[in-house]
Amino acid sequence: MRRLKLTATVSIASFLLLGLSSTANAFHLFRGDESGGCGMGCCAANGELSDDPEFNGVRIHGTITAEVAMLHNTFNDSATGLPVTHIKVGEAVRWSWNSAHCHSVDGRMDSPSFYSEFRYPAEPPAATALLPGVLDYPVFDPTPTLTFVHTFDTPGMYLYFCEHHVEIGMIGLVIVDAP
């Protein structure tokens, strides 16, 4: 009887954990393909991504004056602590993947537009998971291995989002002042 109870308890616990895990995977723990390729449009990448112009194989950026961390499902500007970034024309913003998960910086609804593409770090930062194998919830890692840099050359307000997490509020704003 006792054994039966124990088995039942373990089964219920496993069911709950499995349910939680698969729901979470479907929701926002998605990280593409574990083999380092692409999964559902999210591909592995490394180093610095940019859509700034290239000259002789080198990306030409403005001075990077703002840093935005991509956390669980938010954009966090290091200066404001909010998903709001304030710069001047000609300056650049650097976004960083601070965990192993899929994100994008998608500003394609504005003009001029910007887009990082949908990526996850091929060499994930050494972020520890909250409950490894059960809830691979990312803990902030200050040493990102994947970043995206974009230089803003036109004053204005630029609303952007992460295409994977937009429905749970992963939206940001860049305000670019005239010089």
Binding site for Cu ion (CB under 5 A): 103, 162, 164-165, 170
Residue number of the CB closest to Cu ion reads 162
- CA dihedral sign of residues 170, 25, 49, 47: positive
**Which residue number, 42 or 176, has a Cβ lying nearer to Cu ion?**
42
Close Cβ partners of 91 (under 8 Å, ≥ 6 residues apart): 62, 63, 64, 65, 66, 151, 152, 176
Q: How far is CA 115 from CA 46, 111, 119, 147, 150, in A?
A: 16, 11, 11, 12, 9
What is the β-pairing status of strands 42-45 and 38-39? Answer: antiparallel
CB 61 within 8 A of CB 78: no
Least Cβ distance, residue 164 to Cu ion (angstroms): 5
**Which residue number, 91 or 119, has a Cβ lying nearer to Cu ion?**
119
**Which residue number, 123 or 167, has a Cβ lying nearer to Cu ion?**
167
Least Cβ distance, residue 107 to Cu ion (angstroms): 14
* Amino acid at residue number 121: P
Least Cβ distance, residue 56 to Cu ion (angstroms): 33
Least Cβ distance, residue 135 to Cu ion (angstroms): 17
**Which residue number, 62 or 147, has a Cβ lying nearer to Cu ion?**
147
